[in-house]
Amino acid sequence: MGSPSSDLSPPRRVSVHHALGGGSVADVLLWRSWSSSAAALIASVMTWFALERCGYSVMSFTANVLLLLVVILFIWAKSASLLNRPMPPLPDLKISEENIDRAAGVMLELVNSSLSVVREITIERNFRLFVQVASSLWFISFFGSIFNFLTLVYIGIVLVLFGPLVYEKYQDLIDEKLHTTWRTMQMQCRYIDDTYLKNLPMPSMKEKKIQ
- For 96-109, what is each residue's pLDDT tens digit? 787 788 888 888 98
CB atoms within 10 A of CB 202: 8
pTM exceeds 0.85 for this model: no
DSSP code for 9: S
Alpha helices by DSSP H, 30-126:
34-48, 58-83, 97-122
Which tens digits make up the pLDDT trace of 168-194? 888 888 888 888 888 887 787 777 766
26 vs 38: CA distance, rounded Å? 14
pLDDT of residue 152: 80
